[in-house]
Chain A
Amino acid sequence: MPGFSPNELTSYLTIGAVLFSLGLFTVLTRRNAISVLMGVELILNSANVNYVAFSHFGSGNLDGQLYAIFVIMLAAAEAAVGLAIVLAIFQIFHTIDVEAAETLKE
């Protein structure tokens, strides 16, 4: 494939775009709350690859990598709290279909 090599910025940005689209598709189509969270993780990963790629090809300093580390840290916090909420929803509604939780109460 022309223009798709490890030495081109655009190939990494294309990988990021593919991952973002797949993550967005997952978030849009799933009704299972855990699957939605998986889609969010894909989107965060695609943002990270853009940060690191710009840090490597565009600026030459490490700021992009630091932002990627902060994003990974926030993703860990988001996963812990999000999955705790999913477990709480499961205890109340006995399902994790996101449409079951639209009433916001039992």
Chain B
Amino acid sequence: MEVSTVVFYLVTVITVGSAAMVAFSRNIIYSAFSLLGTFMGMAGIYIFLGADFVAAVQVLIYVGGILVLILFAVMLTHRITDVEITNRSAGRIPALIIIAVFFALLVQTVRETPWVRVKEITYEPTTARIGDLFLENYLLPFELASLVLLAAMIGAVVLSRKEIKE
């Protein structure tokens, strides 16, 4: 077995195992920190898919931004002493049945569909071409994305500030 295959298995186990921790852990702090493993594992999977820029963006935004936001929210909304009971869950059995059926359906589709496959799989740096595409074919979505981010920033500030009543 090649080294890359072993690394791929390792990355997959880390990703899926951490995601399972997020889903099944009774402690929300454990759930939040398990997301770190999932996001880093996803970055590793992107590297296996030859997407170096997406992997870097994943680490920067998910691990550096979203995870820190989630941890802040956990710390701001919980008294640390009673985190055990704050991650309650309801209706586990029906949910398990639903996702089991859904997962079987998804895997069946993945196995049976004759996916189109390119002849030559290439591994080359993607950053320059992604930059070109952002300023050519995807210019309008790119500009709209900046507007969306501005709106989200203002919205988050307005929502989370404390209102001072006169």
Contact = CB atoms under 8 A, between A and B. Distances in A.
A72 B126 CA distance: 17
Interface string A12-38: 111101111111111011111011011
A87 B66 contact: no
Contacts, number: 221
B163 to A, nearest CB: 9
Given A10-B110, A32-B86, A79-B69, A72 B62 contact: yes
B98 A76 contact: no
Contact of A76 (B65, B87, B141): B65
A30 B65 CA distance: 23
Interface in B58-111: 58, 61-62, 65-66, 69-70, 72-74, 76-77, 86-92, 95-96, 98-99, 102-103, 106-107, 110-111
B: interface residue count bin: 35 or more
B66 A66 contact: no
Interface in A72-92: 72-81, 83-88, 90-91
Contact of B133 (A30, A62, A80, A90): A62
Given A56-B49, A58-B116, A66-B130, A83 B73 contact: yes
| Residue among B46, B72, B77, B95 with most chain A CB within 10 A | B77
Interface residues of A, number: 70
A84 to B, nearest CB: 4
B106 A41 contact: no
Interface string B15-50: 110011011000010011001001100100110111
17 contacts: A10-B115, A12-B45, A24-B99, A29-B92, A30-B88, A34-B28, A35-B87, A42-B23, A52-B46, A60-B122, A66-B133, A66-B134, A68-B54, A75-B62, A81-B156, A81-B159, A87-B76
Given A58-B117, A83-B160, 11 more contacts: A10-B111, A18-B19, A21-B103, A28-B95, A28-B98, A30-B89, A39-B22, A45-B39, A65-B130, A83-B73, A91-B162
